[in-house]
Amino acid sequence: MKHLLLLTTLFLTLTSFTQLHPEKRKSKEIIIEVTTFKIKSDIDIAAFEKRDQSTKREYTAKQPGFMKRMSGVSENGEYVVVVYWKTMANAEASMSKFMSDSSVADYMAMIDNSTMKMSRYKMLKRSR
Per-residue model confidence as pLDDT tens digits over 61-100 = 999 999 999 999 999 999 999 999 999 999 999 999 998 8
Within-domain flag for 91: yes
Contact between 68 and 84 (Cβ < 8 Å) = yes
Looking at residue 60, the DSSP 8-state letter turns out to be G
Within-domain flag for 37: yes
Domain span at residue 92 reads: 31-127
Dist CA 53 CA 59 (whole Å): 10
Number of domains in the chain: 1
Contact between 63 and 94 (Cβ < 8 Å) = yes
Report how far Cα 6 is from the mean position of its chain's Cα atoms: 42
Computed on alpha carbons and rounded to an integer, the radius of gyration of the chain in Å comes to 22
Within-domain flag for 1: no
Q: Tell me the CATH number at 83.
A: 3.30.70.100
Q: Which residue has the higher pLDDT, 105 or 16?
A: 105
